[in-house]
Copies of this chain bind each other. A is one copy, B any other.
């Protein structure tokens, strides 16, 4: 075996450990009895430790060096896949080695403890209760970032963001977000005024049994291209997509009073799942065969949920399916009514319930605050005040309590800093990809109008999914759309949908 082959073998083992963890994580959220929680924590900690050990084993350094210097036994060859793979392996190794083992363990414990306290604190809207725990998480995260930064040649915050979306830096994000803030300042009032002139959407009456919703969700997911021979759909408190590329697990939650949340949630998670199912199988379990970061992942969920499936043409088709599934008065299922119901703009406190126009405001707020926390310019103590001020500035509203403010998201309390920007970068990339797909694929909208997603999926398979991580986020956009991330496509999309 060459050094490169040995590395590939090792990374396949690391990926397998990750697959076990991913499936057990799904199990914990979707089916595990409550009493299994403590043992599951132990199991996942063990797997995380094993993965970390594999990734920091002394032999790796030697094999990386040999493969990189391209000696006869180590050269991965001129193949761009192998070259990218080698770069990504080095990158993963550098990240893993940069943080001392005891800090990794301390961080994992602090995250777990803080997350538990947060669940209680959120219920009673009592930030003070969780503040010391969050302070410890921030303290350790800053230490982690300080270790990562010199190793990666990035700023501490960028080093964290790199863990979710490699290749994107705060200096790329900040101006994009500032421009969006400026856009929103005029676009949002305009959209609200236009909306106020329209008729209120007719809400479909009555109960939507879970079984009927689930059957509809399943058939729509299949229609989108999800292969259920390699996927499951289940219920969980918080919808997510997990599992592995050949066994994707998506979840949703059902509300018998309203089908929209579950359905649009399933469409979103199906987008994630299709990306996983479309990754290059030849490079399965290798870094180069993985998705190209969380922002790219989010673009794949949002291109289905927001771009394709909330389009007039698709809603025209979907209205018929909804009528078939639920019966009753046909008025709510008419396309123009569905559009008004599923594309409502509203200033609100909760990110996960936000519409696509105000959603970026929630992300901009978090990006700025988490950056300030990591840079040491904001202390945890001052977080609630800073949150409320920022929301007031962005959306002109102030949450009635911290449960609807800085306590609403799990992310920070679980140690995830640098992840939030991915949501909005993904939304922007989705708009840019959709614009390019429309330009490159014949009659894409005609197909959408027939509930036919395969032209869109085919284009994504070719330009995004099958690329894996051979190219970076911006390289994928450059090759498929002719430009790196360009937020104007997203603004154009919003203008067309909400202002014209």
B230 A35 Cβ-Cβ under 8 A: yes
A16 B46 Cβ-Cβ under 8 A: yes
B244 A35 Cβ-Cβ under 8 A: no
Q: Is A143 an interface residue (CB 8 A)?
A: no
B20 A24 Cβ-Cβ under 8 A: yes
Q: A23: which B residues are within 8 A, CB to CB? A: 24, 27, 43
How far, in whole Å, are A289 and B168 apart by their CA atoms in the complex? 50
**B interface footprint on A34-61 (CB within 8 Å = 1, 0 otherwise):** 1110111011001100100000000000
B46 A17 Cβ-Cβ under 8 A: yes
Q: A19: which B residues are within 8 A, CB to CB? A: 39, 43
Q: A230: which B residues are within 8 A, CB to CB? A: 33, 35-36
Q: Is A183 an interface residue (CB 8 A)?
A: no
Query: Which of B31, B46, B244 is the one whose CB lies under 8 Å from A36?
Result: B244
CB within 8 Å of B: which A205-239 residues: 227-232
CB proximity of A426 to chain B, nearest CB, Å: 26
How far, in whole Å, are A138 and B13 apart by their CA atoms in the complex? 30
A247 B35 Cβ-Cβ under 8 A: yes
26 contacts between A and B (CB under 8 A): A13-B46, A16-B42, A16-B46, A17-B46, A19-B43, A20-B46, A23-B24, A23-B27, A27-B27, A31-B31, A31-B232, A33-B228, A33-B230, A33-B231, A33-B232, A34-B229, A35-B246, A35-B247, A36-B230, A36-B244, A36-B246, A36-B247, A38-B246, A39-B244, A39-B246, A50-B50
Besides A13-B46, A19-B39, A50-B50, 6 more A-B contacts (Cβ < 8 Å) are A16-B42, A31-B31, A33-B228, A33-B229, A33-B247, A34-B229
